[in-house]
Amino acid sequence: STPIKPMVAGNWKMNGLKAGQAELHKMLAGISDDLADCVDVMICPPATLIASFSEKVTGNVMAIGAQDCHAAASGAHTGDLSAGMIADAGAKAVIVGHSERRTDHGETDADVNAKAQAAWSAGLVAIICVGETEAERKAGEAVAVVERQLAGSVPDGATAQNTVIAYEPVWAIGTGLTPTAGDVAEMHEAMRVDLAKRLGAEGSAMRLLYGGSVKPGNAAELMAVDNVDGALVGGGSLKADDFLGILAAYQ
């Protein structure tokens, strides 16, 4: 089968003012054409910065993404942003179902599924996040939980082009803790089998990112795990030096 081109996406969460452009410029300056040939790089800043960041990225070095979208195309939803608005601002992708959205805003698998379809309708790639809590892992339910989330959150019609999956164990996000390489391998294998069974060749070619406390020091080890096709990075994507250190693992 064709090797899958990895993706590394940075999720800035609710961090970043206009001054954050300095960090973006440092990142852009540090990504060579050779590196861009090896890995698709994305930064997902807060929505306030999508338009200005999108104007700064040229060529294939980096794409800009969003962190969430509403499931509806327009209407009476004060404070929300549609996928079309995000695309109009220059984003190429949108994260949906991040565990912080599932927790802070009570988003269900059905909500995430609807948001992913809205993303596609606007021509955006949906980066769909799944992951178990610490209690679920301790109870031995991690794989079952993630398989249930995939079944509910990934719409029919998902392809390797329009969808990226991010496995992010909730207990590993922002904690400095990571699963063992063996645990990551087990989960990514289970996700691959699941998606291939349901989506055929598209599921076999779909990018499966790992997320949760990825740093320059562990990026290479995590990337080397079978069926890990890149990373979704939170804290490690805020500073250019850290982010470039992570990207170095992909060259």
Q: At what angle do helices 109-121 and 142-153 cross, to 10 degrees?
A: 40
**Contact mark string toward ligand PEP, 1..40, x via CB under 6 A:** ----------x-----------------------------
The region, left, alpha or beta by phi > 0 then psi within -120 to 50, assigned to residue 139 is alpha
In this structure, the dihedral spanned by the alpha carbons of residues 227, 83, 68 and 45, taken in order and rounded to 10 degrees, is 90
Query: What radius of gyration do the chain's Cα atoms show?
Result: 17
Residue 45 interacting with ligand PEP (CB under 6 A): no
- Residue 195's identity, in one-letter code, is L
Q: Is 168 in the site for ligand PEP (CB under 6 A)?
A: yes
Q: Is 98 a catalytic residue?
A: yes
149 binds ligand PEP (CB under 6 A): no
The one segment of 28-36, 200-208, 228-236, 239-247 that binds ligand PEP by CB under 6 A: 228-236
**Binding residue for ligand PEP, selected from 39, 116, 173, 247, defined by CB under 6 A:** 173
| Minimum gap (Å) between residue 246 Cβ and ligand PEP | 10
Shortest spacing between CB 74 and ligand PEP, in angstroms = 28
218 near ligand PEP, judged by CB under 6 A: no
In terms of CB distance, is 199 or 233 closer to ligand PEP? 233
HSE, side-chain direction, 13 A CA sphere, residue 58: 4
Could you say whether residue 233 binds ligand PEP (CB under 6 A)?
A: yes
Tell me: does residue 107 bind ligand PEP (CB under 6 A): no
Q: Name the binding residues for substrate.
A: 11-13, 174, 213, 234-235
Q: Summarize as ranges the residues that interact with ligand PEP (CB under 6 A).
A: 11, 168, 173-174, 211-214, 232-236
